[in-house]
Amino acid sequence: MIEHVTIPVRSYERAKAFYKAALAPLGYKNNMEFSPDAAGFMESGHTSFWIAVEETVEPTHVAFRAETRKAVEDFYKVALEAGGKDNGAPGLRSDYSPD
């Protein structure tokens, strides 16, 4: 349904390094770049997640699909190690989905 999404970032290099690390357990790879201010990440042969430098950055909620619980745990661990902030440990969110 959604072809791709772009989220605004303040620090391009920092954000690119973070998402390269955090999205790896979910199978995403940084496959496109429009230096010095935009990068695309591909999963399953499609570049669906982008970051781009913007002057105004508002909080953005993005959820990624994971094939296994291990992928969720690995994503969480790597994201925190890469500088992410904990907004709640991995777990079921029944208001979104039973699994």
User: What CATH number does residue 24 fall under?
Assistant: 3.10.180.10
* Parent domain of 48: 5-81
Cβ neighbours for 70, distance < 8 A, ≥ 6 positions apart:
none
Number of domain units in the chain: 1
What burial letters (b/e) apply to 27-44, b meaning 16+ CB within 10 Å? ebebeeeeeeebbbbbbe
| Sequence letter at residue 95 | D
Nearest Cα neighbor of 39 from 77, 12, 69 is 12
Residue 82's SS3 state is coil
Summarize pLDDT for 35-94 with one digit per residue, the tens: 889 999 999 999 999 999 999 999 888 888 889 999 999 999 999 999 999 988 898 888
Q: Is 64 part of any domain? A: yes
pTM score of the predicted model: 0.87
